[in-house]
Structures are given as structure tokens and as C-alpha cells.
Structure 1
């Protein structure tokens, strides 16, 4: 018989799984299902329920290609529009005071991913740090990050920035309910990786999120993603054209087409943009002058981002994963040159001169990863350090098997040590050729710094704050070290370069 535990939230009671050391509640709704008349609308309040709601299993992942909702070797989570749920993991041991809360936002390019991935439960993090871990679903792709507001009618409004609004609604749920699970609503850290890291920065630049979190961790953010109003409208028109609808019947098509038909149309439109304009990603929070008033980098540079402590960093070899499995980044010599020519000016000469050996493929891969993740992260850490405590890192460690395979410290590898999964079967497999002890040590570095930050607003004492004068950067490796202004020549070469506008 499965042991369960009940908690009463503001919307009703939920029944979770009682484990030996932690309890888990799965797929608790934080907003009404965005279906029917609520498709393409801002999240609406949950309808309270009577009795006890089952929260022992996962519901739907957000609409996406089925490969993105894979949660096991042969297991895929069903997808659907009714996806606005979150999960809570809490230690069973009684606590004298309310526990810090860590809210994780998954990545996947705003097109893929699910909070149901076993890694994201955060059990090891919760136990090591005596914290509450929350993982969040939000609308993806067509349903979360395409601005169809131009197709609004008197009978039906289409809202924008839906995925970002979902994340704000989830944080409001945490504020109103996490105390029932033993968490402290006055000590909330948001953290995420890749698109989830971008979401962390977007939330910091979103006025509606003020006061809902108190610290932030951004792991490998493509920080200057975010179409302008004009680009968002142009891309939405291309998506409607892919649906086979004209300007006059766009609203009807968006409301009546099947979810998979809409998803497929937007996926095709995304692929066309990334094929023609390397480095540009059109599916992201829109800079609308209202809900997201400014481009993210501008918000940090000008001090309008929420002035909470921030950890931000990237992996040394971000681009290698994409060069093997995904052609979305400018990780070939030809795509990098095309990108820099679209930027214009002396960008091509200046940047490629900072990468000796270009156009060797491995050098192009490094440049493509740096362009997408490191370049804009440096701008964020520089801007934010003027107004709030900021801590920069670079993740360098890779087990020997990944080094031999040419991946190195690639994109998303940091998730394994952050969630303490180096000793799982998958973590051990990565260390089969050697490096298990070092991988475990790196995991401990990661977790203890992240947990110290969640509890106090600062990592451990060996990690100095980032300033524009010194640019102290923690190199997470075995052993760890601090470098000052690492890769300075490359940083200066990228300075001022942004993602081009949609053509």
C-alpha cells in the first residue's frame, strides 16, 4: 500500500506521496486549465474543489513534440493544454522554522520540456539543504510564446507573454500556499537552466513578479532572446499562414484548430527562421512595453530589473551538444559568418579575430556557444552588479567519457551535479571512463553554493562577488578556482553585439 499525506491549500486539499525521507505532491494546479475559451488567455484562478485532490501522479506536460516530454528511457508523459501545474518536494523531518523555497523552471528552448522529469524532483537538494523544492510547468511554443494578440476580436481576446504570465501565476501560488508545506514565502529562490535560466531573467525584468522571489540563479541563459513587438507580430503572421489561414480568419483558426495542428504550424515557422537567420530564436517572451517593458539586457543595464541577489553563469563548452544533435545554433563556420554579416559593421572581423583557428569546426562550435549563452550573460552580470549582489561562474568540469567524446562541459551537463545526480545510474555511466570521485566533489560544490545562496543570499565565502572592475568568476571544476575577467579578449570582441531583428 502506498503511503500518502494530505495538505490543505487555498484551493482545496491535495494528497501526495509520503516517502522514507521526503514527500512529493505532483501536478497541483496553480491556474485554471487554459482550454476552450481560455486558450491563448492569461492564466485564470483555479476553481476551488471539495474533498481531497489526488496529487500522487503527474498530469499533462505542456503541448510540444512528443520527444520533449520523454521522462524515461521508454516513457513519455502525455501532453495537453491542461498543463498549468506544479510539483512540491519537502523533507519529512520536522523543522523548527519555515524552510527556504527553491522554485525550478525547466529548459527546452521554450518549445520542449516538463517538470515531471525525475531529475527535477529535487529530492537530494531538499534533503541536503533542508529546503522545499518546487518545479513548474508553463505553456510552451505556440501556446506560451507566440503573440497572437493582433488576432483579437470583440468576442475573444488573445493575450501575449502567456508562458511568462504562467510563471508569475505559479510564483503567486507559492506565495499563497507554500507555508502549508513548511516553506517560507518570504525566502524564495527561483532557478532555471537554458530557457528556464532565460525565464529567471525575464521574471527579474517583469514588474508583475515584484516581491514574489528574493534570490535568483540563472544557469546558461540565452539572455537576449526576446522579440520586439514588431518582430513578434511578424512571426505570429507567419505562424497563422502555416495554419493555412488568412488575416481575416486567423482568430477562428487559432480557436478551432487542434492543439497538435497549431503546435506543428509554429514548429515549422520556428525552423524556417532558425534556418534563415542563425542565432535568432523567435519563440520567447515578447518585449511589449507593458508586461515585459524592456529588452532583458536593457532592464539589467538600467537598473529596472528586480534588485535581488543573482548567480549567473555558463558552461565552458555550451555549443558541443547542439553541434551534434541540433542545428539551431550558429555552430558551423558558415552559420557563424552569416550571423555576423547580419549584425553588420566590423562584427565579423572583430569576433572571428578573437577565435584563433577559425574556421576549424571545433572553434566555430565554441564561438556559437559563446554567442548564444556567454556573450549575453556577461552583459547581464555586468549590468546587475551595479545595483545588487551578483556572482558569476563558469562550469568547466566534464567526466573523462564526455571529454573523449568531444562534448566536454557541454550545455545542460550542470543539471546533474546541481540536482545531486552524479551517483545515479546515469551519472555513473558518464563517469564510467573515470572521474566519479571528482564528479561527486563538483556536485557537492554546486549544491552547497546553491543552498547557501538560497538560505542567505550569498554562496560560500570562497566565491567573491562580481564587479565590473575585477569580474571575479568562480570556475566550477575539480579543484575549483577563481579567475578574474576570464577570456577577456573574447568578451571585448562580443561587446555590444546583439541578436539581429527578424528579417
Structure 2
């Protein structure tokens, strides 16, 4: 049994790991708490069975028929803890790794990648935590302008949930053998953006000791004016779906069916990449309060939390964003819109950095670099002025991924990192070869992440990233270090997006 704020927990032994699933870290955000900041967890009677995951946040079904789809609910604020099944937990004080899932702030859950975290915990060196947070309409649209004396709508709910989960870790992780003063936050994609944003969130100060940001889009945090325009568009679509043209906005939002909320959000998501290229409507809002400024600006002025940072991207981030997930500025009209907003005298340098920009491959790389790589380089450069930074690029992809033109695309490193290599996707991806080296890359990556989480520094073979030499670890069949890889592209982007 384990006691936490709220009551007693019963977990389960899963091989060499002790697991507690579905632990509430805040009150259910339902009824009058919809669109409100997370509230303290409610106490329960007796012993709570924590052998199963809690529901995922509300989201639309995955588009791939074979994709795993957990049950979802507005009552989703739960987390999971994995600990080594050795010794007395009360006598341990292990480092803690807290993972934030990705999914564009619209899909995903703590159940992504079955067995997630076990490869870390089985080493006996760390406690592993992951959690659900509110997504989409319920977590990332800003309806504060529709607040009334009777009903308050707060901003940045998903971000507030993440802070609440970290506060739970601080207050309770000793019961599982973890050290609340040695917490590493890491995440991928939207989870990487969350990690970067938390570094610029004042209320997160002191809740973590270091950060690992995998393929983050650091520029995805927008002004209240832009967020308000998305909220207005959403409300128009919601009225259309519900055929309700008379209810006050506060009443409509408070009582709308979740299916209608999800459908209206999908319309806005689908429209935005063409209407406002380079933006995404489900993202943190720079509200001047909970998130006082753009994270990139916090890094620029040295106001981000000064903790050590590992940050990096994959070789070809943009190649996966095709078809129904085509949200990046990769089409000719979207790219032209970005060029129109950039200084005219730098257009030539950008076209030289991306020759053949009209082709599918080059335009995909342009979009991926715009969203992920260059903003990550910018954050790494700025933060290196005040704290240790180490930059990586994941280049390894099984042969089939090269054959189909995806290469080391967005998210592929997670299969290696979490040793998730026996799924249908991973076996198919390695069917033409490359399985052994892919597994090996994951093992090396985990060693780096574990060393960082346990000691606060990286292995001596991985030099620090600075604005002077930009030393970058290239994770490939054989790892290597390069100085300022793709420097020509970086210089072009610095002129093209001087105010990123």
C-alpha cells in the first residue's frame, strides 16, 4: 500500500516493475469545473485500486484503423507511477523522470507506447511518471472572453494540468521511493513544446531540475488576440453544429456535448494551416499571467528557468506531415505566405538553402525546419548563455523508411527510446533490415537520458552546445559529433525569422 494525498493506493507487480495506474492528481474537471483550472484532488474512502490506466482526455478517434484507442473522458486528470521492484520504497530516493506525451495537443495519452518507461525503470535507477492532461477544446482554446459573473473560463488549462501533475510529484513521489528534488521533465512533439513552455511558466519554478525536449515546436505559443479569433471561429462552428443560435456563449460552452466540441475544433484545425500558415490553434496562449511571455522571448531575455537542457530533433521532421496531418507550411501557397511576411532581401538566401523548394521532399524539409528544427536551435542557442545545453539530431531510420521517403521522420525515435520494437509498425519498418542498429540506437539514447536524469550532466563524449561551435550529437548507426550541422540553413532562417 502507498499513501498519497487523497488516500491509500494499491498497485500491481508487472515483472520487475511496480506499477500504480490511474492515480488522480486533481479533481475531475467536469460540470462546473469544465474550463476551470485544476482543483485539489478529492479524498476517497478505503484503498483505491490502481492496477488500470485512467481514461484518456477527450479526443477524436485515431485516423489509422489499427491505432490503439483508449477510452476517453472529461474526467482524465490521472497519472501513472512505475518503480523498480526492489528494496523498501520508503528507503529509496531515486531520480524521477516525468514524461509528457505528444499528439498536437489534440490526441494522445499516457497509454501511448505500451510498456512505456519500463526500459528505464528496469535499470533500478529511476522512478518513471507519465500522465494525461486536457486536450483540444477542453485544454487549449481560450474562452476567457466569454466569462460571466456566474461562469469563469480560464486559459491554458492543459498547461495548468501539467503544472498540477508536477506539483503532485513534488508532494507525493517520496512514497514511491522518488526524490522530489531530482526531477527530469521530458516530452516529444507537443510534449516537447510543453517541456519548453514549462521552463517559461513561473508557477513551474522549482518543480523540475532538468529538461529533455524531443522534437518540440517552441514557437507554438500565441497571442491572446490570435487565440480570441480562434475562439470566435470555434463558437461559430459550434453554433452551426448544434443549431443553437440563441444561447449565451457561456451557456453553450458549459453544456455542449463533447462530440460537438471535438467536431468544431477539428474544423478550426483543418482550416488554420491555410488561413494562417505556420500557426496551430491548439497551443498555449501568452496570457500575460500564467504564461507571461512567449517561451522563446523568455529564453532570449534569460527569464526561463535556468536548468540544464537536452534538446533536439529528427533528421526529416516534416516528411510525416502528409495527407490528413498536413498541418505544416509545405504547400506552395503556405510557403509563399511565409515569404511574403519575411524581409524581401533574405528570400534569395532561403531559396538557396532549399533548392527545389517546389518539390515534395524539399518543401517537407522546409516545413519541418520551420516548425521544429530552427526554433529548437534558437532555444538551444539562447539557453546556452545561462545554463548547460546539449543538442542532438536523430538520423537513424530502418531501410523501409528510406524506401518510402520518410527517413528519420517525426516521432520515430520514440520507438527506439522506449524499446517499442515488437509492434506491427516497428516490425514492418524493419522488415527490409536495420532492426539491430535501430535497437542499438535506442539503447544508447536511453543511456544518455538516464545519465542526465541521474547526474544532471551528460557523458563526456557529448560536448555542450554553445553559440560559438554548436556541437551536435548525431545519433545514427555510429554516433558522431558535428559542429553546426546545416549551418547554411540556420543562417538563412536567422534572417528569415529574426523575431522568432
TM band (smaller chain)? over 0.9
CA 1:267–1:52: 2 relative to 1, 3 Å: same
Residue 421 of structure 1 and its aligned partner are, at CA, apart by: 2.2
Q: Which runs of 4+ in 1 moved over 4 A?
A: 245-248, 423-426, 496-501
Answering whether residue 175 of structure 2 is matched by residue 180 of structure 1, we say yes
Q: How much does 1:356 deviate?
A: 2.0
Cross-structure match for 1:389: 388
The answer to whether residue 298 in structure 2 is matched with residue 305 in structure 1 is no
1:35 aligns with 2:30: yes
Task: Tell me the SS of whatever aligns to 1:189.
Answer: strand
Asked if structure 1 preserves the Cα contact closer than 8 Å seen for 2:347 and 2:496, the reply is no
Select which of 237, 246, 249 maps to 1:242. 237
* 1:24-61, Cα deviation, whole Å (9 max, x unpaired): 11111100000000000000001111201121112211
In structure 2, what is the Cα distance between the partners aligned to 1:120 and 1:457? 25
Matched, 1:351 2:344: no
User: 1:411: which partner in 2?
Assistant: 410
Q: 1:223: Cα distance to partner?
A: 0.6
Q: Using the alignment, how far apart are the partners of 2:159 and 2:306 within structure 1?
A: 19
Does the 8 A contact of 2:24 with 2:79 survive in 1?
yes
What aligned pairs does 1:200-215 form with structure 2 within 5 A after superposition?
200-215=195-210
Deviation per CA, 1:474-502: give whole Å up to 9, x if none: 0011100000011011001111545999x
- TM-score of the pair, normalised by structure 2: 0.95
Number of residues of Structure 1 aligned to a counterpart in Structure 2: 494
Q: Does structure 2 conserve the Cα–Cα contact (< 8 Å) formed by 1:448 and 1:460? A: no
Judge conservation of contact 1:333–1:360 (CA < 8 Å) in 2: no
Matched, 1:159 2:159: no
Distance 2:392 2:358 in 1: 28
Supply the RMSD in Å over aligned alpha carbons: 2.0
Shift of 1:324: 5.0
2:227 to 214, 225, 232: 232
Query: How far apart, in 2, do the equivalents of 1:211 and 1:275 lie?
Result: 40
Aligned to 1:86: 79
Q: Do the aligned residues in 2 keep the contact of 1:422 with 1:443 (CA within 8 Å)?
A: no
Mark the CA change 1:446 to 1:365 in structure 2 (over 3 Å): closer, same or farther.
same
Q: Is the 8 A contact 2:268 2:281 kept in 1?
A: no
User: Displacement of 1:310 after TM fit?
Assistant: 0.3
Which residue of 2 is the match for residue 77 of structure 1?
A: 70
Q: Which residue of 1 aligns with 2:257?
A: 258
Q: Residue 429 of structure 1 aligns with which residue?
A: 428
Q: Which residues of structure 2 form unaligned runs of 5+?
A: none
Query: Matches of residues 43-58 of structure 1 in structure 2 within 5 Å?
Result: 43-58=38-53
**Partner in structure 2 of residue 370 of structure 1:** 369
Q: How much has 1:365 moved relative to structure 2?
A: 1.0
SS in 2 for 1:293: coil
For structure 1, the 5+ residue unaligned runs are 1-5
Q: Is the 8 A contact 1:214 1:308 kept in 2?
A: yes
Aligned-pair CA distance for 1:248: 7.5
TM-score by length of 1: 0.94
- The Cα of 1:208 is off from its aligned counterpart by 0.2
Q: Which residue of 1 aligns with 2:107?
A: 112
SS in 1 for 2:122: helix
Query: Helix, strand or coil: the match of 1:365?
Result: helix
Structure 1 residue 344, shift from structure 2 partner: 5.2
Cα contact 1:120–1:135 (8 A) shared by 2:
no
Q: Is the 8 A contact 1:151 1:250 kept in 2?
A: yes
Mapped contact 2:5–2:41 kept (Cα < 8 A)? no
Query: Residue 179 of structure 2: SS of its match in structure 1?
Result: strand
Q: CA deviation at 1:130?
A: 2.0
Partner of 1:3: none
Look up the SS of the partner of 1:67 in the other structure.
Answer: coil
* 1:237 Cα offset (Å): 1.2
Is residue 273–residue 329 contact of structure 2 (8 Å, CA) maintained in 1? no
Output the CA distance in 1 between the equivalents of 2:59 and 2:381.
35
Contact 1:323 1:331 survives alignment (8 Å): no
Cα shift at 1:240: 1.1
Alpha-carbon distance between aligned partners in 2 of 1:318 and 1:236, rounded to the nearest angstrom: 29
